[in-house]
C-alpha cells in the first residue's frame, strides 16, 4: 500500500497543533495536552522513519525470510521517548494539582506572582 | 591504563545514579546514616571527576568508553548505533565544573534542610540531576544525550518545585518543566532528522558524514533553539529567573551548572557535529547578537528587582551572555583561525567555571541571608553584617567577581573576552564592559541594602559551620582562579578550547579511526 509522505505530514501537523496550544491556550491542563501532542507527533515521526513498505518485525530469527525488515533503532528510540514522556506528563500534572490547590484556578492569566 | 581510570567515565555517571536510588533505602536505616552515605557519594563522585581529568589530560587525545560488549575501536567499527562515551578536553572541563558545584551543594544542603526535613527525596533528586549533567557532558551519542537531557529536566524541575507548600515554586516549576520538555522534544526531532538522513546516532559518525543540505539546516536550527532555550539565552530566558529564584538555594547553584551543560551541548553541536559544514560567520554573528541581548536584558532586569534571589538570577542570566560572546567570536573566526579567536574561546570557556563558582557562591550566600532576615525583600533587610561577618565577606567576594573586579576570577575571564572581542569588533567589547559596570552598581546596592546600615533586625537563624565551609570552598576557588589565571588557563581551559577549536578531527578519529 502506498501512503507516501502522508504519515510525515500528520506527524508535523500534530507538532504544529501542540505548539499552537502552548502559545495560545490559557488553561494549564490544555498546555499539558499541547506538550503531549508535540510529543506524540515526534514519536509518530520516529516510527514512520523506520517503516519499510510491507516490512516485518525486526526479530533476528525472521531474518532468512528475505523480506524487508522495519528498522529496529527508531522503535527503540520511540519506546524510550514514550517512557520519558510519561514521566514528564506525570510531573507536569502534579505541578498543576499543586498550583490549583494554592491559587484555586487553572487560568494562566490569574496566576501571576512571578512577573518582571 | 589501570582498570579504575579506564572505567572512570562510566563510574562518574554510575556512582551518582547509584546514590540516587540507594538513598531512599539507606534513609530507612536512619537520618544520620543517610547523611554519611550522601556525603560519601558526593566525595566519590568528585574523586571520579578528578580521575577522569587526570586520565584525559595525560592521554592528550579524546578517550572513548564503549558500553555493552567488546568492540575493537577505532578501526573495527561496524555498528555506529552502539552507545559510546567520549571524553575530550571540553567534556573534562565541564566535569570539573559540575563536580565542584555538586559537592558544595550537597554539603551545604546538610544543614540547609534542618528545620523542614525534605531529606531523602531531595538527596535522591539531587544525585539524579548530577548523574544527568555528567551524562550530557560525557556521552558521544546523540540519543543518549537526549536521554540525559530529559533526566536533568525531570530531576531539576522536581527540585525547583520541591517546596510544595509555596505556590510560587510550583508556578516556577511548571513553567520550567513545560519549556524544558519542549526543548527536549525539539532535540529529539532533530536527532530523528539526522538519523533519517545518515542512519547513525553517534556524534563522531554523524560529524564525519554531515553535509549542509536542507535537512541538516533544519536539524541545526532545532538543536540551536532547544539548547539555547535550556541554557536560558534571551529571548528564551523566561523560565530562568523564576527557576533560579524559586528553587532552594543550593539547587539554584546546581541549576547554573545544568544550564551550562546545555551550553556545552550547544558548543558541541556547533563545533564538533557541524564544524565548517555550516556558515560559521553567520552562526557566529547570531550567537554574538544573542549574547549581547542576553547581557543587556539580564543586567537591566536585575536593576529593577527587589527580591534578592530573583536579582541574582537575572545576574546569572546576563553571565550566560559573556560565555556566548566569547565562544561566538571564536565560532565566527574559526574558519580563518586568528590568534584572538582562540583567546576569545578561552575567555568564554574560562568564564563558565568562573561564573559557576561566583554565582553559586552568591546563591548560597543568598540562602543564608534569606534564612537570617526571614524575608527576600531587599527593602526590609539591613545591618546583617554586624552579626554575620563571614557571610557578608563571601557575598562581597561573589559580587565583585561577578562584576569583573580584580583580583577575582570574573576579571580574569572577562578581560580575555574584552581584549579579543575588541580585536574582532570594538563595539562588542564596549557593550560587554557597560554590562559589567551596571552589574557592579546593582550588586553594590544589594550589599548596601542587606549588610550595611544600623542593626535593624537580628538574625533569625545563623549559618552553620558546614554552610560557611561550603561557601568558603567556592570563595577560595574564586580567589585562586583570580590570582593565578595563567596557570588555570594553561591546565584546564586551554585543552577545552583546543578540543572545540581544533579538535574536531581528533574527536571523529577516536571513534571512526584514521
Among B321, B319, B348, B320, residue whose Cα is nearest residue B333 = B348
Instruction: Indicate the length of chain B as a whole number.
Output: 514
Quick check: A88 pLDDT over 80? Answer: yes
pLDDT score, position B117: 55
Q: Is it true that the peptide bond before B47 is cis, omega within 30 degrees of 0?
A: no
> The pTM is what?
0.94
Residue B371: is its pLDDT beyond 80?
yes
pLDDT of B80 strictly over 50 = no
Interval B459-476 mean pLDDT: 89
* pLDDT value at B13 more than 50: yes
d(C-alpha B231, C-alpha B180), whole Å: 10
Average pLDDT of the residues in A70-78 = 86
Residues on chain B touching A32 (C-beta within 8 angstroms): 178
Q: Is A74 contained in some domain?
A: yes
Average pLDDT over residues B74-84: 60
Residue-number span of the structural domain to which A34 is assigned: 6-110
**Residue A116 domain flag:** no
Report the SS3 class of residue A70. coil
Top pLDDT among B134 and B385 is at B134
Rounded Cα gap, residues B119 and B121, in angstroms: 6
Cβ distance B42 to B134 under 8 Å?
no
Structural domain containing residue B416:
279-483
Chain A CB contacts of B182 under 8 Å are 22, 35, 38
Backbone angles phi, psi at B181, to 5 degrees: -65, -45
Range name among B77-86, B172-181, B384-393 with the lowest pLDDT average: B77-86
> Would B211 be classed as within a structural domain?
no
Which CATH number do you get for residue A106?
1.10.287.3510
Least confident of B78-87, B92-101, B365-374: B78-87
CB contacts under 8 A, A 33-72 vs B, are: 35, 38-39, 42, 45-46, 49
Residue B72 lies in a domain: no
Q: How many domains does chain B have?
A: 1
Is residue B289, in this structure, part of any structural domain at all?
A: yes
Do the Cβ atoms of B398 and B283 come closer than 8 Å? no
Residues from chain B contacting residue A78 (CB–CB below 8 Å): none
Is B402 a member of any domain? yes
Q: Measure the CA–CA gap between B248 and B268, rounded to whole angstroms.
A: 30
Structural domain count, chain A: 1
Give residue-wise pLDDT tens across range A36-60. Answer: 999 999 999 999 988 887 777 777 6
Angle between the B167-198 and B214-231 helix axes, to the nearest 10 degrees? 160
Residue-wise DSSP of B70-132: ---TTT----TTS-EEEE-HHHHHHHHHHHHHHHHHHHHHHHHTSSS--THHHHHHHHHHHHH
Q: Least CA distance to A46: which residue of chain B?
A: B192
Q: What is the C-alpha separation between B152 and B156, in angstroms, rounded?
A: 6
The answer to whether B230 and B136 are in contact (CB under 8 A) is no
Q: Looking at the predicted structure, is the pLDDT value of residue B7 above 80?
A: yes
Task: Read off the pLDDT of each residue in B484-508 and give the average, rounded to a whole number.
Answer: 91
| Mean pLDDT of all residues belonging to chain B | 90
Closest CA to B306 of B450, B463, B146: B450
Question: In this predicted structure, what is the pLDDT of residue A94?
Answer: 95
CA distance B330 to B319: 17
Domain presence at residue A1 = no
Residue with cell 584514521: B514
Q: Quick check: A99 and B174 CB within 8 A?
A: yes
Is the CB of B150 less than 8 angstroms away from the CB of A73?
no
Band (B70; pLDDT cuts 50, 70, 90): low
Q: What is the mean pLDDT of residues B34-63?
A: 92
List the single residue in A with minimal CA-CA distance to B300: A116
Is B161 within a domain? no
In A9-28, the residues whose Cβ lies within 8 Å of chain B are 15, 22, 28
Q: What is the DSSP letter of B462?
A: P
- Give the model confidence (pLDDT) of B325-345 as tens digits: 999 999 998 888 888 999 999
Residue whose C-alpha is closest to residue B376's, from B163, B130, B110, B123: B163
Per the domain annotation, does B152 fall within a domain? Answer: no
ipTM over 0.90: yes
- Residue B170: its chain A contacts at CB < 8 A? 95, 98-99, 102
- What pLDDT does residue B463 have? 85
Confidence of residue B79 (pLDDT cuts 50, 70, 90): low
Amino acid at each position: 500500500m502506498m501512503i507516501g509522505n502522508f504519515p510525515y505530514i500528520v506527524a508535523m501537523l500534530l507538532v504544529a497543533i501542540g505548539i499552537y496550544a502552548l502559545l495560545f491556550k490559557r488553561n494549564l491542563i490544555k498546555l499539558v495536552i499541547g506538550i503531549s501532542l508535540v510529543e506524540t507527533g515526534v514519536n509518530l515521526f520516529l516510527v514512520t522513519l523506520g517503516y519499510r513498505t510491507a516490512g516485518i518485525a525486526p526479530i533476528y530469527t525472521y531474518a532468512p525470510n528475505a523480506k524487508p525488515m522495519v528498522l529496529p533503532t527508531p522503535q527503540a528510540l520511540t519506546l524510550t521517548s514514550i517512557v520519558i514522556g510519561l514521566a514528564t506528563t506525570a510531573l507536569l500534572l502534579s505541578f498543576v494539582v499543586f498550583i490549583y490547590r494554592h491559587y484555586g484556578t487553572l487560568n494562566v492569566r490569574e496566576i501571576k506572582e512571578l512577573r518582571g | 591504563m589501570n582498570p579504575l581510570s579506564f572505567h572512570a567515565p562510566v563510574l562518574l555517571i554510575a556512582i551518582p545514579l547509584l546514590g540516587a536510588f540507594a538513598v531512599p533505602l539507606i534513609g530507612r536505616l536512619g537520618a544520620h546514616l543517610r547523611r554519611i552515605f550522601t556525603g560519601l557519594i558526593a566525595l566519590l563522585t568528585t574523586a571520579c571527576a578528578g580521575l577522569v581529568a587526570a586520565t584525559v589530560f595525560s592521554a592528550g587525545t579524546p578517550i572513548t568508553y564503549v558500553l555493552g560488549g567488546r568492540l575493537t575501536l577505532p578501526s573495527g567499527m561496524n555498528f555506529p548505533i552502539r552507545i559510546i562515551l567520549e571524553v575530550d578536553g571540553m567534556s573534562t572541563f565541564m566535569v570539573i565544573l559540575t563536580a565542584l558545584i555538586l559537592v558544595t551543594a550537597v554539603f551545604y544542603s546538610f544543614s540547609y534542610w534542618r528545620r523542614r526535613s525534605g531529606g531523602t527525596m531531595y538527596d535522591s533528586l539531587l544525585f539524579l540531576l548530577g548523574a544527568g549533567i555528567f551524562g550530557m557532558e560525557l556521552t558521544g551519542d546523540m540519543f543518549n544525550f537526549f536521554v540525559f537531557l530529559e533526566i536533568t529536566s525531570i530531576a531539576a524541575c522536581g527540585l525547583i518545585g520541591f517546596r510544595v507548600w509555596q505556590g510560587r515554586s510550583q508556578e516556577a516549576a511548571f513553567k520550567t518543566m513545560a519549556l524544558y520538555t519542549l526543548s527536549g522534544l525539539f532535540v529529539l526531532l532533530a536527532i530523528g532528522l539526522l538519523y533519517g538522513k545518515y542512519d547513525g546516532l553517534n556524534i563522531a559518525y554523524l560529524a564525519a558524514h554531515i553535509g549542509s543540505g536542507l535537512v541538516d539546516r533544519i536539524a541545526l536550527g532545532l538543536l540551536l533553539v532547544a539548547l539555547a532555550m535550556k541554557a536560558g539565552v534571551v529571548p528564551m530566558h523566561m523560565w530562568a529567573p523564576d527557576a533560579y529564584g524559586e528553587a532552594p538555594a543550593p539547587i539554584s547553584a546546581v541549576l547554573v551548572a545544568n544550564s551550562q551543560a546545555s551550553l556545552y551541548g550547544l558548543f558541541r553541536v556547533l563545533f564538533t557535529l557541524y564544524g565548517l559544514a555550516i556558515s560559521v560567520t553567520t552562526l557566529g554573528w547570531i550567537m554574538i547578537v544573542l549574547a549581547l541581548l542576553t547581557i543587556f536584558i539580564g543586567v537591566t532586569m536585575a536593576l529593577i528587582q527587589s527580591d534578592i534571589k530573583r536579582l541574582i538570577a537575572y545576574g546569572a542570566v546576563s553571565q550566560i551572555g559573556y560565555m556566548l560572546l566569547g565562544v561566538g567570536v571564536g565560532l565566527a573566526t574559526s574558519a580563518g583561525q586568528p590568534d584572538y579567536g582562540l583567546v576569545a574561546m578561552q575567555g568564554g570557556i574560562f568564564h563558565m567555571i568562573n561564573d559557576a563558582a561566583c554565582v553559586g557562591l552568591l546563591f548560597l550566600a543568598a540562602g543564608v541571608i534569606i534564612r537570617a532576615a526571614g524575608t527576600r525583600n531587599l527593602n526590609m533587610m539591613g545591618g546583617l553584617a554586624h552579626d554575620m561577618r563571614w557571610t557578608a565577606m563571601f557575598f562581597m567576594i561573589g559580587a565583585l567577581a561577578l562584576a569583573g573586579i580584580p583580583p577575582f576570577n570574573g576579571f580574569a575571564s572577562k578581560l580575555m573576552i574584552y581584549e579579543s572581542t575588541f580585536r574582532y569588533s570594538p563595539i562588542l567589547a564596549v557593550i560587554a564592559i557597560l554590562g559589567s559596570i551596571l552589574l557592579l552598581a546593582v550588586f553594590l546596592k544589594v550589599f548596601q541594602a542587606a549588610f550595611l546600615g544600623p542593626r535593624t533586625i537580628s538574625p533569625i537563624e545563623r549559618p552553620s559551620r558546614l554552610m560557611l565551609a561550603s561557601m568558603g570552598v567556592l570563595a577560595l576557588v574564586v580567589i585562586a582562579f583570580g590570582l593565578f589565571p595563567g596557570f588555570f588557563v594553561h591546565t584546564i581551559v586551554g585543552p577545552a578550547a583546543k578540543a572545540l577549536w581544533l579538535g574536531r578531527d581528533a574527536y571523529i578519529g577516536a571513534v571512526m579511526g584514521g
